[in-house]
Structure 1
């Protein structure tokens, strides 16, 4: 692992919109974007546990890595089902979109793997990509189609008739498709109160907000912003963080762009808050892993 390489964020990146209430900037004064590690094939799926340790995937190399709160990098699980998006629930279980066989996994604290889902109505998923887990244990996940060269024994054409969003109820058995009219859903995250779900249609360069109903269904879709995203997270002010070629772009709860953090990489895949105070933003971007200190905190798990 190389020593951290520092990138200074120009002051102009913090865009305080005229006519809005002035708040403390999102990025801590004097903070720098740090490259914590590199040399990976493609980084994805960062998520923190309650202590602030961050787990992320080196997806093509089929492993889950751990960045501890004391700055140590280690391999957490290898092989990992070619893990992509991940989430840690309030019980400490690690949920994994296992791309190798298009499955959804649940990994407990002892690293025991349980395959929760393999298909929908007898047909293979396109490839579960990203997910968010509610406090009651129900989970939403996106299922876009990206043809993988390592798939064995399946066609390079999707079996599902839609690139959809699914809801798995808290019994971990009842599955239903809740969105089927997006071009290519990808990033997904819900608000801490469990009332709103954000879903990025990366294929259409849009992000939508939905009302979450008691039965898990979604309603009242509204366009949140004209930008798609690979991954997502929220801070304790309700700001939404999106990732794509532009780096990390932050939108206010009203859908106004308020910050951009370029990584200098060809693709910025995902983002989460972690660290001892959950006040550090961790970013997976192409072959590298970054962080930057913030004035806001994350809201998950």
Structure 2
């Protein structure tokens, strides 16, 4: 199974002409490699300061960990609130969009969780999906509605599908972005000045300026395509997911497409000890691809 998928991944790269020298992004002789499979649906990859990568197997209600020292994958937390998106904060805590209970969690080193956000104005969220943490510790998170088979409810408590901001310190929650059909992927630039939000329901990705108080201003259309999860590299290139991985430069121009031999690519992040390996969650599997560029977390 692994050999077949790895061969298929390599063949796809060759067929579409993903020559590393053409783009300056993929490492010389770098090839897409199947790291692990046998899951139900992988999502939410996030790396810590040591390059370890955490990701979710949401239908199986667990968070897994790829160890940067051993290269092995193991179960990190189970059950896990059917977590979807993940992010590691500056203190090394894992922050999770706990979709099962419509909450945002902070998971400490003892694997105990604290509820950071549970509702907005007394109504439960639709289902926190993906998140990004700014330099001050504020958290932006998307809240689309995807009816889950494990929910008792069958309708929204909040009609609008928005992006929220959980402020640091005071822990106040406010609407950060609305006028969106179905926000999903989210990522901020390393300098903290720009936030990218994918409106997967409208096949668009927007760029917002981040004001000093965390407010999002001056929205502009960045790409005429949406995305599930997404990430950025050190040069400001944006990596979108869905059909493989599509890379856009800082101006929004498509510069690379990385095919993945799966029906859907859900999310992507940089990890490894040097932060120069691209990790891709796709259907029941986790893939990796050596890169020439590093990822950026803050």
- Could you say whether these structures have the same fold, taking a TM-score greater than 0.5 normalized by the shorter chain as the test? yes
**Structure 2 Cα separation of the partners of residues 170 and 285 of structure 1:** 32
| Contact preservation (8 Å) 1:13, 1:261 | no
In the TM superposition, what are the counterparts of 1:242-257 in structure 2 within 5 Å?
242-244=240-242, 246-257=243-254
Residue 5 in 1 paired to residue 9 in 2? no
RMSD of the TM alignment (CA)?
1.8
Residue 220 in 1 paired to residue 221 in 2? no
**Structure 2 Cα separation of the partners of residues 23 and 169 of structure 1:** 42
Which residue number corresponds to residue 194 of structure 2?
Answer: 196
Which residue number corresponds to residue 262 of structure 2?
Answer: 265
CA deviation after TM superposition for structure 1 residue 12, in Å: 4.5
Partner SS, residue 280 of structure 2:
strand
Gaps of 5+ in 2: none
Which residue number corresponds to residue 209 of structure 2?
Answer: 211
CA deviation after TM superposition for structure 1 residue 112, in Å: 1.8
Q: Which of 278, 281, 294 lines up with 1:281 in the alignment?
A: 278
Which residue number corresponds to residue 132 of structure 1?
Answer: 132
| Contact preservation (8 Å) 1:211, 1:218 | yes
Which residue number corresponds to residue 238 of structure 1?
Answer: 236
Gaps of 5+ in 1: 17-21
**Structure 2 Cα separation of the partners of residues 231 and 36 of structure 1:** 19
| Contact preservation (8 Å) 1:138, 1:172 | no
Q: TM-score, normalised by structure 2?
A: 0.94
**Structure 2 Cα separation of the partners of residues 11 and 251 of structure 1:** 20
The count of corresponding residues between Structure 1 and Structure 2 is 293
Partner SS, residue 258 of structure 1:
strand
Q: Deviations over 1:204-262 (max 9, x none)?
A: 00000000011111110000011100001000011000001x11000000000001111
> Using a 3 Å threshold, how does the CA distance of structure 1 residues 83 and 172 change in structure 2: closer, same or farther?
farther
Partner SS, residue 32 of structure 2:
strand
**Structure 2 Cα separation of the partners of residues 131 and 279 of structure 1:** 21
**Structure 2 Cα separation of the partners of residues 288 and 110 of structure 1:** 27
| Contact preservation (8 Å) 1:133, 1:139 | yes
Q: TM-score, normalised by structure 1?
A: 0.93
> Using a 3 Å threshold, how does the CA distance of structure 1 residues 263 and 24 change in structure 2: closer, same or farther?
closer
- Normalized per residue, the structure richer in helix is 2
| Contact preservation (8 Å) 2:23, 2:256 | no
Residue 93 in 1 paired to residue 97 in 2? no
CA deviation after TM superposition for structure 1 residue 2, in Å: 5.0
CA deviation after TM superposition for structure 1 residue 173, in Å: 1.8
| Contact preservation (8 Å) 1:43, 1:59 | yes
Using the TM superposition, name which of 72-81 and 168-177 deviates more: 168-177
CA deviation after TM superposition for structure 1 residue 93, in Å: 1.0
| Contact preservation (8 Å) 2:23, 2:255 | no
Which residue number corresponds to residue 174 of structure 2?
Answer: 176
Partner SS, residue 177 of structure 1:
strand
Which residue number corresponds to residue 45 of structure 2?
Answer: 46
